[in-house]
């Protein structure tokens, strides 16, 4: 447990004693000066609470400075640990110099303490004194609850584990505090948040995402985060925290002003306490009021997270004030698409032009956003742009090609989006691109496949091939030049045959014969492939690095296993929604000798496979050099199955 501060040691006990003294004096009968006595008690209590606000501001200032010094220290570590050219060293030093200059301005007297509304102002202005007393009473009950929680043996043990973590892991873990009890969280969501806030950065040849994966693994190993596995797969896609751990994190986050919570552990939408803020629905299900200048100190925010607000009414002038914001998660974080979010107006988006520090921006699942403003190109520090499932999004502005630091772009499930603007090859840092639409014949300046070949760091790609595309055989071969690509998902959009039978035939024939895949692929996911026979480019001899193969949907009838004498090195195979597929278990065993995980779902003609009720088969007994395969075996030691 961290050392208690002056508020816990001095101020809170003094306020309690003062209240006891007040009750004692008021019990004395016959006093003619009772009104003056009450007034004196009120004045003393008000002055103490004013000082308490100052102490809270000082604590918050100190924690901000310590955190920012930690960021600088990590930048210096990068210089010590990485082999960089002189220009890169110079660039890093400029960033460090700017950060230190900003810090120096904040620690030079008079100190720039964050503004907090005083209790005196609250009680003497529009708020009645009765409400001020009620607030103090609620705050006291909250502190008492915190005290009881911290004194429990379970929480004490969790606190010991928490205090043993390094600062980076502590900050990463506190991000879990705002989510509802037992919430299942996508691991990618948390890692993106950590990247955006600068809690994880690339180092020692690893990407920021890989460093984030390492942090999550350490939190799991320390028992602070629980992994959630799907159908006994070893891959960790989701995670959660135990209710007791969550309760501990809420108390720690509140005490350290990482986030603010009410007495029941619900995040508050009052942004005056912390530089991390939440959007939450008001009690009773009523939507919160429009956020405006007067509600919060928006200029100091570094992270704004939408916890459960469905209808966003963001005041344009207030939104524009968030000059220091790094993380802006306005979209959906929940797994289910049923969590609907929509904006009343998109005028607030024009304020993005001033967000020079914004690194992570998510509008996932938000309706009524038809187009991003060109000003998005002014967000020069943006690294992650998540537009997944923005179903009304019709066009991407060419301004995104100015985002030179962008590493992740997700426009998947944006079904009205007809093309990606030309110039995507200028995003030299791009590592993940989801929802790439292969050139629409009606668009004037679409991005072509040959531009992807110029993205030397692109390691994950999902692309859509529709009936209206214009694509040549040479372009389909360009995909092979993406040498860094490790994960590829291709989705074919098939229209009813009456409207597109000839076009579909040409497109299907071309993709079956002319598509060429990068040799370094480790994961391949083919969705709604339009042919009945597996294409010739799906060849084990050309894909020796492939470990995961997913085939989902479409009229596929045969995997073509008899055509290829070489066996696959695939360890994870998923076959889903293939109603025409016919294959024998003996063929699978012969062609995939290293298979450790097989999942079959809604493949009505695939029978007599030794799968469980979930359609899953897991190999057991034999050790393998693959970490993924070992994870599958270790997670299924109790599963008994005859092969």
Q: pLDDT at position 2, please?
A: 41
Complete DSSP assignment for 483-509? TT--EEEEEE----HHHHHHHHHHHHH
Summarised one tens digit per residue, pLDDT across range 371-403 is 999 989 999 999 999 999 999 999 999 999 999
What pLDDT is stored for residue 384 in this prediction? 98
pLDDT digits (tens, 9 = 90+) for 418-460: 888 889 999 999 999 999 988 665 666 788 888 898 999 999 9
Q: Which two tokens stand for residue 356?
A: 């020079």
**616 burial class (0-12, 13-18, 19+ CB within 10 angstroms)?**
buried
Whether the predicted pLDDT of 69 surpasses 80: no
Q: What is the mean pLDDT of residues 459-470?
A: 82
User: Between 485 and 469, where is the model more confident?
Assistant: 485
pLDDT exceeding 90 applies to what percent of the chain? Answer: 43
List the Cα angle 111/113/117 in 5-degree steps.
145
Predicted local confidence at residue 335, as pLDDT: 82
- Read off φ and ψ for residue 446, nearest 5 degrees: -80, 155
| 600-615 CB burial, b ≥16 within 10 A, e <16 | bbebeebeeeebeeeb
- pLDDT, residue 5, reads 65
Residue 11, C-beta contacts closer than 8 angstroms, at least 6 positions apart: 48, 51, 52, 55
Q: So what's the pLDDT on residue 144?
A: 53
Q: Could you tell me if 445 and 422 are in contact, meaning their C-beta atoms sit under 8 angstroms apart? A: yes
Could you tell me if 299 and 281 are in contact, meaning their C-beta atoms sit under 8 angstroms apart?
no
Confidence of residue 24 (pLDDT cuts 50, 70, 90): confident
Give the pLDDT confidence score for residue 33 in this predicted structure. 67
Best-predicted range by mean pLDDT among 44-53, 199-208, 232-241?
199-208
Judged against a pLDDT cut of 70, whether residue 207 lies above it is answered with: yes
pLDDT in tens, 500-557: 445 555 655 676 677 889 999 999 999 999 889 998 899 999 999 999 999 999 999 9
Do 628 and 547 meet the contact criterion of CB atoms below 8 Å apart?
A: yes
Per-residue DSSP letters for 203-221?
BTTB-HHHHHHHHHHHHHH
At residue 119, φ and ψ (nearest 5 deg) are -65, -30
**Distance in angstroms (rounded) separating the CA atoms of residues 596 and 460:** 23
Q: Is 491 left (phi over 0), alpha (psi -120 to 50) or beta?
A: beta
Residue 15 in 3-state DSSP?
A: helix
pLDDT digits over 216-237, tens only? 999 999 999 999 887 666 778 8
The pLDDT score that the predictor gives to residue 84 is 66
Give the range among 81-95, 217-231, 483-497 with minimum mean pLDDT.
81-95
Sketch the domain layout of the chain as residue ranges: 1-131, 522-643
Question: Please, which residues have CB within 8 angstroms of residue 98's CB and are 6 or more apart in sequence?
Answer: none
């Amino acid at each position: 447990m961290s050392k208690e501060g002056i508020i816990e040691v001095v101020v809170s006990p003094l306020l309690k004693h003062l209240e006891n003294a007040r009750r004692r004096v008021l019990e004395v009968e016959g006093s003619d000066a009772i009104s003056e006595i009450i007034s004196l008690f009120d004045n003393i209590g008000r002055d103490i609470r004013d000082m308490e606000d100052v102490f809270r501001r000082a604590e918050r200032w100190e924690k901000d400075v310590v955190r920012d010094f930690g960021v600088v220290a990590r930048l210096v570590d990068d210089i010590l640990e990485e082999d960089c050219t002189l220009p890169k060293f110079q660039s890093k030093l400029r960033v460090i110099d700017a950060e230190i200059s900003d810090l120096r301005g904040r620690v030079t007297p008079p100190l720039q303490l964050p503004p907090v509304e005083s209790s005196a102002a609250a009680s003497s202005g529009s708020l009645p004194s009765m409400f001020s007393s009620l607030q103090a009473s609620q705050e006291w009950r909250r502190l008492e609850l915190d005290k009881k929680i911290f004194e429990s043996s379970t929480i004490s043990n969790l606190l010991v584990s928490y205090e043993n973590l390094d600062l980076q892991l502590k900050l990463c873990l506190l991000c879990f505090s705002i989510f509802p009890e037992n919430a299942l969280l996508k691991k990618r969501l948390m890692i993106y948040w950590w990247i955006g806030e600068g809690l994880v950065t690339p180092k020692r040849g690893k990407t920021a995402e890989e460093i984030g994966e390492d942090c999550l693994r350490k939190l799991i190993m320390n028992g602070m985060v629980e992994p959630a596995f799907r159908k006994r797969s070893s891959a960790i896609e989701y995670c959660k925290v135990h209710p007791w751990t969550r309760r501990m994190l809420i108390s720690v986050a509140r005490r350290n002003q990482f986030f603010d919570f009410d007495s029941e552990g619900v995040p508050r939408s009052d942004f005056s306490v912390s530089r991390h803020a939440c959007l939450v629905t008001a009690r009773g299900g009523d939507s919160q009021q429009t956020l405006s200048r007067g509600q919060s100190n928006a200029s100091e925010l570094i992270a704004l997270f939408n916890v459960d607000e469905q209808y966003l009414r963001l005041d344009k002038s207030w939104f524009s004030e968030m000059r220091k914001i790094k993380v802006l998660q306005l979209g959906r974080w929940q797994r289910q698409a049923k969590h609907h979010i929509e904006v009343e107006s998109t005028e607030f988006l024009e304020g993005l032009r001033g967000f020079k520090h914004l690194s992570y921006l998510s509008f996932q699942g938000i309706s009524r956003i038809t187009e991003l403003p060109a000003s998005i190109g002014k967000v020069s520090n943006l690294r992650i742009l998540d537009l997944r499932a923005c179903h009304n999004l019709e066009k991407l502005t060419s301004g995104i090609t100015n985002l030179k630091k962008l590493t992740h772009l997700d426009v998947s499930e944006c079904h009205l989006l007809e093309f990606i603007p030309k110039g995507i090859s200028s995003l030299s840092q791009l590592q993940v691109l989801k929802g790439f639409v292969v050139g629409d014949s009606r668009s004037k300046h679409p991005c072509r496949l040959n531009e992807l070949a110029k993205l030397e760091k692109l390691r994950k790609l999902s692309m859509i091939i529709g009936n209206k595309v214009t694509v040549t055989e040479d372009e389909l071969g360009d995909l092979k030049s993406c040498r860094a690509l490790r994960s590829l998902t291709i989705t074919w959009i098939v229209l009813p045959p009456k409207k597109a039978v000839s076009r579909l035939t040409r497109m299907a024939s071309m993709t079956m014969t002319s598509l060429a895949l990068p040799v370094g692929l480790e994961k391949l996911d083919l969705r709604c492939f339009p042919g009945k026979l597996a294409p010739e480019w799906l060849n084990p001899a050309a894909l020796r690095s492939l470990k995961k193969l997913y085939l989902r949907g479409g009229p596929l009838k045969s995997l073509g296993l008899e055509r290829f004498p070489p066996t696959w090195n695939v360890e994870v195979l998923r076959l889903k929604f293939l109603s025409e597929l016919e294959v024998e278990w003996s063929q699978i065993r012969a062609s995939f000798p290293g298979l450790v995980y097989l999942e079959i779902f809604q493949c009505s003609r695939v029978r007599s496979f030794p799968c469980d009720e979930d359609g899953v088969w897991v190999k057991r007994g034999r050790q393998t050099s693959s970490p993924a395969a070992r994870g599958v075996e270790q997670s299924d030691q109790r599963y008994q199955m005859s092969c």
